[in-house]
A and B are shown apart, each in its own frame.
Chain A
């Protein structure tokens, strides 16, 4: 046996720290991942400029459009102010906080880069989510400030706005982001089985656009609204934006459980797809 200067054989000690850490330190691990992503986003902050400009253009065009459409009064319970703020929020959530998770998954799976994540003691799905959270924090701040500025400049503050309800709206926004992220992850994970899964992404994106991002769900014809409420897509953008511009307790209790439900479904499904995919990967290589 080759000499070992310490005169001892390195034997793995399973009880050594690392092998069975408690969940608290585990959380710290993912916080660190979020932090480094945030750091990278800040270092590359100039990347966000084009997006901000586009965001402003989009809001301006739609503000002009809605102003032309509204001749005072309300449409389906939304005033002009509310509908502009609504748009600022949905665009913030869908465009401002867009995540590349779908393309990332696709690439990682198709290039086999996923395998290199396996040799680390952390869960790939959680790793991706933590990374996305880090990047989103940065985007939320940048686009959030712009959203508020644009809203204030174009239509001014909402009258009699109940600031105390704001945290509840923000909670709903976070849930919307979680639903969006994990649904996209599910779609990305289909790359384990399908060569061409880009169509899923496009369809998903358009469903989110149409069922809540461009126009409040209430503007849609009745039959479509009834269908849409059973689907996860309005809970990404419509639900939080609606609660943020026109909060009501009955609506909140109607929306929140559904958001939690869809978030749970999306998370559960991504974990399941990941596990199945991994089994295939270990059997067949990258």
Chain B
């Protein structure tokens, strides 16, 4: 099969899972409404916080103004939403490895990692996705470059978030249950995405460009939205592709050690 075909089949697979997941999720409408409500509320309370911070204290915080902060917020929210709509199972990989449930996916003739990631969706994630659009529309107006970079950030952010989660969960192949670590890694990423980069000391900024790639997910897209630079943009794309490939490489490397639930069943 050619590479183009392979990619096409992966996209078809993602689309298929997406439709099935959505249909089954609609069975729980009231829970869905509640989750969306909670998400709007929780994100709204952060906007409130920033509004107070900027209106009471200063026009720029860590080099960002209010619209900048709203931009990174929007990207983070939509990227998180996209990742959890399409790849919600990324939060459960460790469990699948430990309980031997990867078997089901290994038996299927499609890409294992794609099938694993797509086998579940999160409903409240729709709220996160839409919320980002809303924020961009309200705070960036008709700024075309901001919209464009918002979309780039959304895609890159969703992929990198997934890549980091997959990498962290892959550790389960080697050291036993890494689900807490993986959960924390996503929390960390989100946290370093939603505050101005400039508030952090140098060593934290190094972390943000390596282990916790928040810089690539939101901060560089913001920089590009404000002042476009083709070279920087190309670098961003290359770095993102590298992260994703590395995550895939780690996963398949780890998968060789998969023993169908026989390996890590030592009582904790």
Chain A interface (Cβ within 8 Å of chain B)?
49-50, 53-54, 57-58, 61, 64-65, 67-69, 75-76, 196, 198-199, 202-203, 206, 209-210, 214-215, 219-221
Chain B contacts for A198, CB-based, 8 A: 34, 38
Chain B interface (Cβ within 8 Å of chain A)?
30, 34, 37-38, 41-42, 44-45, 48-49, 52-53, 55-58, 61-62, 180, 183-184, 187-188, 191-192, 195-196, 198-201, 204
Whether A61 contacts B49 by the Cβ 8 Å rule is: no
Least distance between B158 CB and chain A CB atoms (Å): 22
Given contacts A206-B41, A210-B48, whether A64 and B61 have CB atoms under 8 Å apart is no
Whether A219 contacts B52 by the Cβ 8 Å rule is: yes
Whether A209 contacts B187 by the Cβ 8 Å rule is: no
Given B30, B37, B55, B62, which contacts A68 in the complex, CB threshold below 8 Å?
B62
Given contacts A57-B187, A68-B198, A202-B37, whether A76 and B56 have CB atoms under 8 Å apart is yes
Whether A202 contacts B55 by the Cβ 8 Å rule is: no
A198-B38, A210-B49 given; name 16 further pairs at CB < 8 Å: A49-B180, A50-B184, A61-B191, A64-B199, A64-B201, A65-B196, A65-B199, A69-B61, A75-B56, A76-B56, A196-B30, A199-B34, A202-B41, A210-B48, A215-B49, A221-B55
Given contacts A206-B41, A215-B49, A219-B56, whether A61 and B184 have CB atoms under 8 Å apart is no
Whether B45 contacts A206 by the Cβ 8 Å rule is: yes
Least distance between B45 CB and chain A CB atoms (Å): 5
Whether A215 contacts B52 by the Cβ 8 Å rule is: yes
The 5 A-B pairs with the shortest beta carbon distances in the complex, nearest first, are A68-B199, A202-B38, A64-B199, A68-B62, A206-B45
Whether A53 contacts B49 by the Cβ 8 Å rule is: no
Chain A contacts for B52, CB-based, 8 A: 215, 219-221
25 contacts between A and B (CB under 8 A): A49-B180, A50-B180, A53-B184, A58-B191, A61-B195, A64-B200, A65-B61, A65-B62, A65-B196, A65-B199, A68-B61, A68-B198, A69-B61, A198-B34, A199-B37, A199-B38, A202-B38, A202-B41, A206-B42, A210-B45, A210-B48, A215-B49, A219-B52, A219-B53, A221-B55
Least distance between A43 CB and chain B CB atoms (Å): 14
Given contacts A206-B45, A221-B55, whether A64 and B34 have CB atoms under 8 Å apart is no
Chain A contacts for B183, CB-based, 8 A: 50
Whether B199 contacts A75 by the Cβ 8 Å rule is: no
Chain A contacts for B37, CB-based, 8 A: 199, 202
Name B56's closest neighbour in chain A (CB-CB): A219
Chain B contacts for A214, CB-based, 8 A: 49
Chain A contacts for B30, CB-based, 8 A: 196
A50 to B204 alpha-carbon distance, docked (Å): 20
Chain A contacts for B199, CB-based, 8 A: 64-65, 67-68
